[in-house]
C-alpha cells in the first residue's frame, strides 16, 4: 500500500514503452487513492502531453529509502488543480493470452446497452470483465461512463471504462470494448455476473412460487436477501476449491430452495452436491458451482407482485 503522505513523483521518461523522451518529472499535488495495483493523483498540467496507456514509473519514499512501481495511465480527467490521473499496474498478459480470455457470442440473446444517455445496439460479445457493442456514439479510450445492460426490460447497472474503439465498415458506427472501471468501486452488478448469467442461460429473474402466499411472503423476502450472501460464499469456496465445504453448502441450499419456492435452486444445488460426491472432473465441478452462483444471483422478489398472473 502506498502511504497517502508519501513524497511520490512520476518519472515519465524511463518506463519501458513510454513515448516521452528525456527525464520529465511530475509531482502530484495530492494523492487521492493509493494501493499496490492502482493510484489516483491530482497534479498541475505537465509540459509533456499525457495519454491513456502511457507507461510511467512511480517513485515514493519510505522509511527505509525509495521504492518504485511501474504503472500506466488509465484515465485523465481535468480538475480544478489541473489534472486527475488514474494509474494502474501494467498487464503482463501477452496479446495472445488476452485473446484467449473467455468471451461469449451474444447473437440471438436480447442483451442491449445504454451507454450514458446514448442507446447502443445489441451486445455482440461478452467477457468476464468487458463487452463489445455497436453504437453510433463517439467515445474516447479511457473515458468512464455509466452503462445499463438491458434484458427483457430489466436494467443491469454498472460503470465502465472504454478500452478500445474502432470504425466499422460504413464509417458511422463504432465498435467498442468496455471493461469495468477499477476506480469506481463495486458496481450494482458486476459484468462477470452478467457473463455467467448469459453462459448458463439464467438471464430471466428467478422468482418464488410462494411470492403471493400471505403466510410465506415475509419469509421469502428474507431468504431472497440472504441468498446474495450464499452466492458470495459459493464464489469464495470455488475460488479456493474447497469442495467439502462447497458440498455442505450445496446440500443446505438444495433443501432450502424448494422450501422457499425456488425449485430451480434445489435442482442446481443438488446437481453440484452429486457431482462433488462422485468426485467429477474439476472443470465440471467449477462449471456447476458457477451455475449455482448465477442462479442464486438471479433471485428477485417483486415489491408488488402481480399475483393474478402467477400460477
Same domain flag for 116 and 76 = no
Same domain flag for 171 and 191 = yes
The domain tally of the chain equals: 3
Q: Which residues 6+ apart lie within 8 Å of 309 measured at CB? A: none
Most confident of 76-85, 114-123, 286-295: 286-295
- Beta-sheet strand order (sheet of 55-62): 25-26, 9-11, 55-62, 65-79, 82-89, 38-43, 30-34
- Kindly tell me if the per-residue pLDDT of 228 is higher than 70: yes
Which domain, by its residues, includes 140?
Answer: 96-199
pLDDT (average), residues 211-231: 88
Higher pLDDT, 25 or 50: 50
Which string of b and e fits 93-112 if b means at least 16 CB within 10 Å?
eeeeeeeeeebbebeebebb
The answer to whether the beta carbons of residues 38 and 183 sit under 8 Å apart is: yes
Same domain flag for 243 and 271 = yes
Q: Is residue 309 part of a domain?
A: no
Q: Is residue 270 part of a domain?
A: yes
Q: Is residue 2 part of a domain?
A: no
Domain final residue pick, 27, 58, 89: 89
Same domain flag for 224 and 181 = no
Q: Is residue 4 part of a domain?
A: no
pLDDT score of 178? 79
CATH number for position 73: 2.40.10
Q: Is residue 210 part of a domain?
A: no
Distances (CA, A) of 195 to 127, 189, 207, 280: 6, 11, 20, 24
pLDDT tens digits for range 249-270? 999 999 999 999 999 999 999 9
pLDDT score of 18? 47
pLDDT tens digits for range 280-309? 788 899 999 999 999 998 898 876 666 665
**Residue closest to 42 by CA, chosen among 52, 50, 32:** 32
Ranking 27-36, 77-86, 169-178, 197-206 by mean pLDDT, the lowest is: 169-178
Sign of CA dihedral 91, 163, 2, 19: positive
Distances (CA, A) of 47 to 15, 24, 37, 184, 278: 18, 8, 26, 28, 65
Higher pLDDT, 58 or 62: 58
Sign of CA dihedral 166, 168, 173, 179: negative
- Kindly tell me if the per-residue pLDDT of 93 is higher than 70: no
Domain final residue pick, 63, 89, 115: 89
Q: What is the pTM of this model?
A: 0.62
**Residue closest to 117 by CA, chosen among 97, 102, 131, 138:** 138
Amino acid at each position: 500500500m502506498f502511504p497517502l503522505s508519501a513524497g511520490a513523483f512520476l518519472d515519465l521518461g524511463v518506463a519501458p514503452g513510454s513515448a516521452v523522451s528525456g527525464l520529465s518529472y511530475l509531482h502530484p499535488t495530492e494523492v487521492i487513492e493509493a494501493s499496490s495495483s492502482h493510484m489516483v493523483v491530482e497534479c498541475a498540467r505537465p509540459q509533456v502531453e499525457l495519454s491513456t496507456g502511457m507507461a510511467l514509473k512511480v517513485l515514493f519514499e519510505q522509511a527505509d529509502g525509495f521504492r518504485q512501481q511501474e504503472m500506466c495511465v488509465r484515465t485523465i480527467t481535468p480538475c480544478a488543480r489541473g489534472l486527475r490521473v488514474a494509474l494502474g499496474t501494467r498487464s503482463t498478459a501477452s496479446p495472445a493470452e488476452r485473446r484467449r480470455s473467455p468471451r461469449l457470442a451474444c447473437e440471438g440473446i436480447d442483451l442491449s446497452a445504454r451507454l450514458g444517455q446514448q442507446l447502443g445496439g445489441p451486445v455482440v460479445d461478452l467477457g468476464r470483465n468487458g463487452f463489445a457493442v455497436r453504437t453510433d456514439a463517439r467515445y474516447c479510450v479511457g473515458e468512464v461512463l455509466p452503462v445499463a445492460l438491458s434484458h427483457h426490460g430489466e436494467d443491469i447497472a454498472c460503470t465502465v471504462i472504454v478500452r478500445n474503439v474502432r470504425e466499422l465498415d460504413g464509417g458511422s458506427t463504432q465498435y467498442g470494448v468496455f471493461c469495468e472501471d477499477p476506480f469506481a468501486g463495486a458496481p450494482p452488478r458486476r459484468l462477470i455476473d452478467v457473463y455467467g448469467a448469459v453462459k448458463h442461460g439464467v438471464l430471466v429473474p428467478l422468482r418464488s412460487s410462494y411470492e403471493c402466499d400471505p403466510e410465506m411472503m415475509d419469509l421469502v423476502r428474507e431468504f431472497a436477501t440472504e441468498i446474495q450472501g450464499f452466492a458470495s460464499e459459493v464464489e469464495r469456496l470455488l475460488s479456493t476449491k474447497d469442495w467439502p465445504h462447497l458440498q455442505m453448502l450445496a446440500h443446505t441450499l438444495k433443501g432450502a430452495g424448494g422450501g422457499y419456492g425456488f425449485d430451480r435452486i434445489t435442482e442446481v444445488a443438488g446437481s453440484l452436491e452429486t457431482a462433488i460426491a462422485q468426485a467429477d472432473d474439476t472443470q465440471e465441478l467449477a462449471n456447476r458451482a458457477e451455475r449455482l452462483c448465477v442462479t442464486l444471483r438471479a433471485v428477485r422478489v417483486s415489491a408488488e407482485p402481480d399475483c393474478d398472473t402467477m400460477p
